[in-house]
Amino acid sequence: MGKVFIKKLCIKTCHGVNDFEKKQPKRFVFSAEIDCDFYEAAKNDEISQTVNYSTACKLITAVATGNVFNLIETLACRCAQAILENFPSARSVRLRVDKPQAPVKAKFKTMSAEVFLRRERAYLSLGSSMGDRKAYLDFAVKELASTRGITVKKVSSYTESAPYGGVAKNMFLNACVAVDTYLPPRALLNEIHRIEEAGERSRSLRWDDRTLDIDIIFYGRQVICEDGLTVPHPEYSRRAFVLEPLKEIAPDFFCPLTGARIKDLVAPGG
């Protein structure tokens, strides 16, 4: 791994919550630290295999001058997103926006906002037991692929399984999906809930039949225990309908919690 730095890129543009800030260009200063793998670029002396800092500066400039945002937080996030979306070799970016001419009645050097985005590989489990089950899974994959910040990398075969949990009555159709995403875990979960709702998901009873169910099984190597979000999924290793499609697309992935390799796991009764 290596880093590419952009320091103190000055751009005159219009951003701010006040009306006059949206009309009168002021100086903004951008700095970025981009983690990337430029081994091949250094080996071949080939600019296309690294983060071209000239192109990165043009991307930041295009975002900064082609939009008018209320918040420099939004400006920083959009610039960081543009870098990750345009450079496959970039693994993460830390981007800072300084607003030295902010209209604040105080003595200061600059006002700043900084964002850090990292590209992670996440594994999701999909299930449906109502209506046209295949159509609902297809819909979920399509929606994931069209969501900004998510790139679908692999989709397992669709397999049928008996209902789990003693409540649902219908057979399920299941799959697993590997995605690359720079969305933080909670933001990814919010997008998943949006897709489930668009897929007519009802949450009236746990483990009941549903049109669409999407769970985060793994999010990179992270272990997360928050209200409404536990990763790795606490029950994945006991569910054959998760393990079998997961083995198809990620057999050599190691669970960050137990160290077990996915292809070596066997669900109870499996």
Return the CATH superfamily for domain 120-264: 7,8-Dihydro-6-hydroxymethylpterin-pyrophosphokinase HPPK (3.30.70.560)
Give me the pLDDT at residue 38, please: 86
**Dist CA 82 CA 35 (whole Å):** 14
**Dist CA 187 CA 204 (whole Å):** 23
Half-sphere exposure of 42 (CA within 13 A, CB side): 8
Kindly report, residue by residue over 177-190, the tens digit of the pLDDT.
999 999 999 999 99
What value does the mean pLDDT take over residues 209-216?
A: 91
Q: Give Cβ neighbours of residue 138 (< 8 Å, ≥ 6 apart).
A: none
Share of the chain above pLDDT 70, in %: 95
Of residues 92 and 210, the one with the higher pLDDT is: 92
Euclidean distance between the first and final Cα of the chain, in Å? 40
For 2-118, give the CATH class. Answer: alpha beta
Q: Of the candidates 130, 161, 137, 123, which has an alpha carbon nearest to the alpha carbon of residue 267?
A: 161
What value does the mean pLDDT take over residues 88-117?
A: 96
Asked which of 86-90, 152-156, 219-223 is least confident by mean pLDDT, the reply is: 86-90
Categorize the per-residue pLDDT at 206 as very low, low, confident or very high, splitting at 50, 70 and 90.
Answer: low
> What DSSP line would sit under 197-229, residue for residue?
HHTT---SSTT---S-EEEEEEETT--EEETTE
Provide the mean pLDDT of the chain.
93
- Is the pLDDT score of 163 beyond 90? no
Q: Are 197 and 166 in contact (CB under 8 A)?
A: no
Reduced to 3 states (helix: H, G, I; strand: E, B; else coil), residue 191 is: helix
Share of the chain above pLDDT 90, in %: 84
**Dist CA 246 CA 240 (whole Å):** 9
Of residues 203 and 64, the one with the higher pLDDT is: 64
What value does the mean pLDDT take over residues 88-111?
A: 95
Active site residues: 99
Give me the pLDDT at residue 267, please: 83
Categorize the per-residue pLDDT at 169 as very low, low, confident or very high, splitting at 50, 70 and 90.
Answer: confident
**Dist CA 234 CA 95 (whole Å):** 34
Give me the pLDDT at residue 214, please: 96
Categorize the per-residue pLDDT at 204 as very low, low, confident or very high, splitting at 50, 70 and 90.
Answer: low
- Is the pLDDT score of 201 beyond 90? no
What value does the mean pLDDT take over residues 196-212?
A: 76
- Is the pLDDT score of 198 beyond 80? yes
Categorize the per-residue pLDDT at 164 as very low, low, confident or very high, splitting at 50, 70 and 90.
Answer: confident
> What DSSP line would sit under 136-161, residue for residue?
HHHHHHHHHHHSTTEEEEEEPPPEEE
Give me the pLDDT at residue 199, please: 82
Specify the domain boundaries for CATH 3.30.1130.10 within the chain: 2-118
Specify the domain boundaries for CATH 3.30.70.560 within the chain: 120-264
Helix intervals (H) in the chain: 39-44, 53-66, 72-86, 133-146, 185-198, 240-249
